[in-house]
Amino acid sequence: MVTIITGASDGIGAALARHLAASGGRLVLNARGRERLEALAATLPGSPVLVTGDVADPATAQALVNAARQHFGRIDTVVANAGYGLVRTIADTTPEEWQAILATNLLGTIHLVRAALPHLATQDLRDGYRGHVMLVSSALARRGRPEAGAYSATKAAQLSVAEALRVEVADQRIAVTSVHPVATATGFISAAEAHGGTWARGTSEPVQDPQVVARAMADAIARPRAEVWPHGLSRWALGLGTLWPTLFDGYFLRRMRRK
């Protein structure tokens, strides 16, 4: 299976790359920085193809698709994983910050999908599918987080894209999966805090290992499904929150007041 992964040099993307490479997957890996990507590649079997570049640039998506076709002649799964967080109230998020986070988290996803779809649509079927699009969203797609409203909005937008796309490409036998991790022990929080602010986390909030998230993603790559919630309970809790929107307001308000 040939898999393209954006944001693969660290965190969830790197954990998925390790998992897939260990089971013989052929990989095309992306991040902006070359050094960490090369360090990861040196530890993986199967000589992954590396494509550096910012996912906010549509040329990066095209280069990833071209590299997969040139080296492997096929793309089974594209994983739009690259993204970052921002600790900011809605009132304090500047237009430039909105543009930057939308450009990476949302448009970065869309550029990859648009570059890949024409190729996925014309491939032969493999295990019942011509190809598979996997978008790494967040549990926050279902519940905007105070002081991370812009980030949450990008994750909710990815879910909307996945829901619409899944039906649009169903008859072409292209699978679409959105992934909804809870807090995961990666460099995500320190990267978010590098933009300023402190990412407050409640003591009762679950934190998962990136390998747990990667395993759930790899299972869904092998047997595509609509949504992946690596922390099962969060799906039901947030589902309840959609039926009862103020359910989580009190929890977040208490936490903000404490802070």
Ligand X SMILES: NC(=O)c1ccc[n+]([C@@H]2O[C@H](COP(=O)([O-])OP(=O)(O)OC[C@H]3O[C@@H](n4cnc5c(N)ncnc54)[C@H](OP(=O)(O)O)[C@@H]3O)[C@@H](O)[C@H]2O)c1
Residues noted as catalytic: 151
- For residues 199 to 238, the per-residue mask of contacts with ligand X, x marking binding by CB under 6 A and - elsewhere, is ----------------------------------------
Q: Which of 2, 17, 116, 136 is close enough to bind ligand X by CB under 6 A?
A: 136
The yes or no reply on residue 32 touching ligand X (CB under 6 A) is yes
**SS3 assignment for 171-208:** HHCEEEEEECCCCECCCHHHHHHCCCCCCCCCCCCCCE
Q: Is the dihedral of CA 154, 158, 159, 165 positive or negative?
A: positive
Stretch that binds ligand X, among 42-50, 179-187, 225-233, 249-257 (CB under 6 A): 179-187
104 contributes a contact to ligand X by CB under 6 A: yes
Beta carbon nearer to ligand X, 58 or 187 = 187
The CB-of-47 to ligand X minimum distance in angstroms stands at: 19
Return the structure tokens found at 235: 């799906």
Rule CB under 6 A: is residue 195 a binding residue for ligand X? no
CA dist., res. 232 & res. 161, Å (int) = 22
SS (H, E, C) 224-250: CCCEECCCHHHHHHHHHHHHCCCHHHH
Under the criterion CB under 6 A, does residue 56 sit at the interface with ligand X?
yes
9 binds ligand X (CB under 6 A): yes
How long a stretch of residues is the chain? 259
- Residue nearest ligand X by beta-carbon distance: 11
Contact between 224 and 175 (Cβ < 8 Å): yes
Query: Which of 7-15, 123-131, 219-227, 249-257 is the region at the interface with ligand X (rule: CB under 6 A)?
Result: 7-15
Please, which residue, 26 or 231, has the CB nearer to ligand X?
A: 231
3-state helix, strand and coil shares in percent for the chain, rounded to the nearest 5: 50, 15, 35
Given a contact cutoff of 8 angstroms between Cβ atoms, the answer to whether 29 and 7 are in contact is no
State yes or no: residue 48 binds ligand X (CB under 6 A). no
Helix (H) or strand (E) holding 4: strand 2-5
Contact residues: ligand X, CB under 6 A: 6-13, 30-33, 36, 54-56, 81-84, 104, 136, 138, 181, 183-184, 186-188, 191
